Amino acid sequence: MPQPTPSTTEALQREANAFLEQFKTLLLATVSEDGHPDCSYAPFLRDERGHLYIFVSELAQHTKNLLTNPRASLMFTAAETDSKNLFARQRLTLETKASYIPRENSAWPAILDDMETRFGNTIELLKTLPDFHLIRFEVFTGNYVQGFAKAYSLTGPELEIIEHRRS
């Protein structure tokens, strides 16, 4: 199968970004310090640079995992009801590095204000709870799958398509 042309690559990149933008929550895979996997979800915010943020309690296993092991995989997948074939669901998987953003960070208030705009007054309450932490994910690589034989490797927070995957 031939590599996508530059115009096709740009269209795929726009499509991958539009697919991501339709979600308000992400699926999150983390690993504990002693190697135990955990799969969970969290509401998220994406900034203009393509970084993703979650605001989560340190009581949650995924938060504990991220604070000790910053590697995480994020997944966004089309609803089963919107998929003609469940073996070929449209999906986006991102390999990321998480970093803790302390409340003293100058960006913290603006990010939480944006989260409040996106998710409502629940964020106002959560901001008052000391066990909640702001985590930023920086995207390094990923995969965008449109369906059977339509899988593309990508890189960076802008989800730049770099190749059509064949293996």
Judge whether residue 2 has pLDDT over 60: no
Judge whether residue 158 has pLDDT over 70: yes
Confirm whether 76 is domain-assigned: yes
What average pLDDT score do residues 1-5 get? 57
What is the average pLDDT value for the chain, to the nearest integer? 93
Q: Are 95 and 142 spatial neighbours (Cβ–Cβ below 8 Å)? A: yes
Confirm whether 1 is domain-assigned: no
Domain range enclosing 93: 6-164
The reported pTM is 0.92
Domain count, the chain: 1
pLDDT (tens digit per residue) in 107-120: 999 999 999 999 99
Q: In whole angstroms, give the CA distance from residue 38 to residue 48.
A: 29
pLDDT at residue 1 in the model: 47
Confirm whether 101 is domain-assigned: yes
Q: In whole angstroms, give the CA distance from residue 78 to residue 1.
A: 25
pLDDT (tens digit per residue) in 63-110: 999 999 999 999 999 999 988 999 999 999 999 999 999 999 999 999
CATH code where residue 33 lies: 2.30.110.10
Is 7 or 155 the better-scoring residue by pLDDT? 155
pLDDT at residue 101 in the model: 97
